[in-house]
Amino acid sequence: MKNVIILLIIMSVVYSDVKGQSCPLQANEVYQPGVYLNGMIDSQSLAYSTTPDFKTSFYNYRTHLVTNYSTVQKFGRIGNAASDMESLRLRVFEPVNNNLNNPVILLSPLSGFSSSNVYGFVTDYIASFFAKRGFVVIVYQSRKFVVRGFETDSTSELSDFITNPHYTSDTAVINDFKEKVVSNTDPNSSYTFFDLLESLSKAANGQQLVFDAYMEMIYKTSYDTKKLMNLVKQNKSLFSMNPQSIVLMGGSAAAVQAVHAGLLDQPEQLEQYLDTLVLPYSGSSYPNPGSLSQDFQFESDISGAPKAKAIVNFWGFVASLDMINPNSPDIFSVHGTWDDVFSFQQTFQDDMQLYFGYGAEGIHHRANQAGIHSDIYTVCRGKHALYPKMQTACKFTSEKEKDLFIDILGKVNYFLYEQIKLTEQNEVFIISSPAHYSTILPNQTLVPPANVTYSNPNFHCPSVYPDHFATQYYPQATVTPPNQSPQQISKPKHPIAGVIIHPNPTSGSFQIEIDLREDAELEISLVNSSGKFMGILQQSYHVEKGTEMIPIEIKGLQSGIYFVRIQTTNGSIETVKLMLD
């Protein structure tokens, strides 16, 4: 409750943090930041009373700075002394209108898990783009890890910056830190999160250390987002915010943060998805399996945090495709197919020597299978981090980069418009080989071996797909070729008219009453309340048009809430809650 009070007080006092970087609004120009008049905003200059359509640039906006929306435990720390904690700040871009129910975009500027600056030309451009259309945009800091050159001297140790002994007990890690940092006398140098992963990889248990560090970072940054979502709900009247319409947005590391915060009800669920898929989290319990929540006991209470309505993923990844289920938020993904940091398909993490993290293609396929709205914007042979370079708040370095960036924002804008208007239309956009980006062929071979047959290659860029790509990553997935880009993909007619479970609650034996509009082949599966796949109940079950009762028996599961998922061969999905006594 303390943070809520701070949020209310600071926001009510700080009117504007404008630094004089204003741009003249040109006739018919809808992409420039808002107009500031002598540091103040003329609230009548842009359609103050106009009802937002969330597509048109109607409004000016004002900005507010909050110097401490949350005090949190730093990465690499396990205590709660003052030196273990840091304060996070945020900026609010508030549309100047009289709308009482503005949708909210939480925009994270997290970069490389080592920088989280709420000021920046590109960040301001994105925030102003959507604020002018009626979205409240909150740009917020998150936890990160970086050691600056000016913070070190010849006596510095890794334990000065990381107090968790799990990361600092191996001599090889300590020596690599000293070689990278202590021997470097440049005060402007940085030892980043990825430098730390490289150091950790040199330990005898390096693979485990790198994995645990990734888990801690995703866990803590997801908590930052969840905490802010809770604050939006608790302070919704402050900027006329709608907590039922929260969009999580970010690029690269910030996209990883947004994706996991949006897909996981609780950050602790990371463990249940990854223990068998990659490695069990160990942490301070090494060499035995550990627990994120036990290692990091000072996180904020996020109970009651609202669910995200949508996720905008700029070149990020999800740790496990199983996190995507029929109850997940809708997803818009942008990714370059030659991304050598977070792969378009599946990333090989050199420091772990493991495949860890699925990119936009896997996310899009799994979202389609789950029956949620998913758009994908593919930049063929595009690199990582497709943000444009900007010289000032108003000027792009390259007009071609500007054109691509504005096109991306326009597609995202329409996707968000669809969320608000509750329309459903999956879309695939393909941009072929942008000449204005200097793309470098990733290390892995992108042409598959001659003796390998791919029944589901990357149709977005037919000559571009890594040799580790295999169809088991995306079962039952279909991709539409790019020869009609951009194209609209309409959902087929839904053959399922209704589903009822009798009895419900049940002790394990029940019947599914299903009403079909046409004959269909069904697959019936079960997932738990966290979205984890529990097993197939019926496979290739043929049902004729009309009503039919399907008997089911479940044994060996704990009591609680589950979801019966019914999928037809044309991709239609129906999900029904099941209470198991």
pLDDT tens figures, 301-329: 898 899 999 999 999 999 988 899 999 99
Q: What pLDDT band is residue 572 in, cutting at 50, 70 and 90? A: low
For the chain, how big is the Rg over CA atoms in Å? 25
Task: Look at residue 532 in the predicted model and tell me its pLDDT.
Answer: 67
Tokens of 202: 């040199």
Q: What pLDDT band is residue 535 in, cutting at 50, 70 and 90? A: confident
Q: How far is CA 414 from the centre of its chain?
A: 19
pLDDT higher for 94 or 16? 94
5-14, 48-57, 221-230, 351-360: which has the highest mean pLDDT?
221-230
162, exposed or middle or buried, with CB in 10 Å at 0-12, 13-18, 19+?
buried
Per-residue pLDDT tens for 71-121?
999 999 999 999 999 999 999 998 888 788 899 999 999 999 999 999 999
Do residues 334 and 314 make contact, with C-beta atoms less than 8 angstroms apart? yes
Per-residue pLDDT tens for 22-35?
343 333 323 233 33
pLDDT at 449 over 60: no
Mean pLDDT (whole number) for 30-44: 36
Kindly report whether the global pTM for this prediction surpasses the value 0.85.
no
Instruction: Give percent of the chain with pLDDT exceeding 90.
Output: 39
The β-bridge partners of 527 are 533, 563
- CATH code given to domain 496-580: 2.60.40.1930
pLDDT at 11 over 70: no
Q: Which ranges of 14-163 would DSSP assign to H, the alpha helix?
A: 121-131
Pairing verdict, β 136-140 and 102-108: parallel
Per-residue pLDDT tens for 193-245?
999 999 999 999 999 999 999 999 999 999 999 999 999 999 998 889 999 99
pLDDT higher for 479 or 387? 387
Pairing verdict, β 560-568 and 573-580: antiparallel
Distance CA 261, CA 271 (A): 14
Distance CA 170, CA 167 (A): 8
pLDDT at 282 over 80: yes
pLDDT at 459 over 60: no
Per-residue pLDDT tens for 354-396?
878 889 988 988 888 888 899 988 887 777 888 988 887 678 8
Task: Look at residue 581 in the predicted model and tell me its pLDDT.
Answer: 85
Count CB atoms within 10 A of the CB of residue 107: 25
Do residues 347 and 355 make contact, with C-beta atoms less than 8 angstroms apart? yes
Distance CA 72, CA 328 (A): 27
Q: Phi/psi class of residue 443: alpha, beta or left (left: φ > 0; alpha: ψ in -120 to 50)?
A: alpha
Helix axes 399-421, 121-131, angle to 10 degrees: 40
List the chain domain ranges: 2-143+216-264+292-431, 146-207, 496-580
Element (H, E) at 243: strand 241-251
Distance CA 60, CA 95 (A): 6
The β-bridge partners of 71 are 87
- Per-residue HEC secondary structure of 532-580 comes to CEEEEEEEEEEECCEEEEEEEECCCCCCEEEEEEEEECCCCEEEEEEEE
Q: Amino acid identity of 389? A: K
Distance CA 131, CA 97 (A): 10
Task: Look at residue 138 in the predicted model and tell me its pLDDT.
Answer: 96
Do residues 325 and 351 make contact, with C-beta atoms less than 8 angstroms apart? no
Task: Look at residue 523 in the predicted model and tell me its pLDDT.
Answer: 82
- CATH code given to domain 2-143+216-264+292-431: 3.40.50.1820
57-66, 222-231, 334-343, 371-380: which has the highest mean pLDDT?
222-231
Task: Look at residue 177 in the predicted model and tell me its pLDDT.
Answer: 95
